[in-house]
């Protein structure tokens, strides 16, 4: 049924992205939920080698990021609270994905506030954009190990989140959408644009 299918499809996507070098070591984390049950988030558990990630590696947490009782012995990803905050800020969100792509990290090592991207056809990969004749700003936030503090940064910066993606400095990219299909498209869109911009600017 729907939950199991989504787990299988997202796990396959995660393994494919690992092959692209987007999740070195055991890094990155992913989640999804459904409108029928918006208080239950399925999030990747901590410390899994992403080349081996399977449908069994998701655990259930509530909107505060606390594991449901039957997952009490498993640790959710340390960044679960970031997922919770994105679901809170953008309630239509059903899936959140993440990468540690090299180009995301490189931009954030040299740019302060954001990466501005203009005039690419692939900008239409973002929900609601219908022409290449536009400019988007992908915001960069300083990395933090304090997830409460980082969540607060997201809340106070909501007005800067004009596309469904942001960069954590020297860490990676988060992207989200109204479905796994949308979230996947949004991450591939921003990563492609970051690669083009990096190669263009050097």
- CB burial string 66-94: b at 16+ within 10 A, e below: ebeeebeeeebbebbbbbbbbbeeeeebb
Residue 132 makes contact with a second copy by CB under 8 A: yes
Residue 38 makes contact with a second copy by CB under 8 A: no
Please report how close the Cβ of residue 133 comes to a second copy at its closest, in angstroms.
8
Name which of 38 and 47 has its Cβ closer to a second copy.
47
Stretch near a second copy under the rule CB under 8 A, chosen from 34-42, 82-90, 156-164, 169-177: 169-177
Residues 102, 21: contact at Cβ < 8 Å?
yes
Stretch near a second copy under the rule CB under 8 A, chosen from 24-32, 56-64, 66-74, 81-89: 24-32
Q: How many whole angstroms separate alpha carbon 170 and alpha carbon 100?
A: 8
Q: How many whole angstroms separate alpha carbon 129 and alpha carbon 11?
A: 28
Name which of 10 and 60 has its Cβ closer to a second copy.
10
**Residues 48-107 close enough to bind a second copy by CB under 8 A:** 49, 51, 100, 102, 105-106
The strand pair at 165-168 and 135-141 is best described as parallel
Please report how close the Cβ of residue 14 comes to a second copy at its closest, in angstroms.
13
Q: Choose, by CB under 8 A, the member of 111, 120, 139, 153 that binds a second copy.
A: 120
Q: How many whole angstroms separate alpha carbon 30 and alpha carbon 24?
A: 15
Residue 153 makes contact with a second copy by CB under 8 A: no
Phi-psi region of 25 (alpha: psi -120 to 50; beta: other; left: phi over 0): left
Residues 166, 195: contact at Cβ < 8 Å?
no
Q: How many whole angstroms separate alpha carbon 7 and alpha carbon 170?
A: 29
In the complex, which residues of this chain contact a second copy (CB under 8 A)? 16, 21, 24-27, 49, 51, 100, 102, 105-106, 109-110, 119-122, 124-125, 130-133, 143, 145, 168, 170-172, 181, 184-186, 188-189, 191-192, 195-196, 199-200, 202
């Amino acid at each position: 049924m729907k939950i199991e299918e989504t787990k299988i499809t997202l796990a396959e996507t995660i393994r494919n992205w690992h092959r692209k070098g987007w999740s070195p070591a055991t890094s990155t984390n992913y989640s999804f939920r459904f409108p029928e049950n918006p208080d239950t988030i399925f999030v990747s558990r901590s410390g899994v080698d992403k080349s081996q990630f399977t449908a069994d590696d998701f655990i259930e947490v509530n909107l505060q990021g606390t594991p449901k009782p039957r997952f009490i012995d498993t640790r959710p990803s340390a960044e679960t609270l970031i997922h919770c905050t994105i679901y809170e800020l953008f309630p239509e969100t059903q899936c959140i994905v993440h990468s540690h792509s090299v180009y995301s990290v490189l931009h954030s090592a040299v740019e302060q506030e954001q990466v501005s991207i203009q005039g690419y056809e692939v900008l239409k990969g973002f929900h609601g954009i219908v022409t290449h004749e536009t400019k988007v700003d992908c915001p960069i936030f300083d990395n933090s190990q304090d997830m409460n503090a980082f969540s607060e940064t997201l809340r106070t910066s909501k007005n800067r989140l004009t596309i469904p993606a942001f960069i954590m400095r020297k860490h990676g990219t988060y992207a989200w959408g109204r479905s796994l299909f949308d979230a996947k498209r949004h991450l591939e869109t921003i990563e492609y644009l970051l690669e083009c911009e990096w190669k263009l600017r050097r």
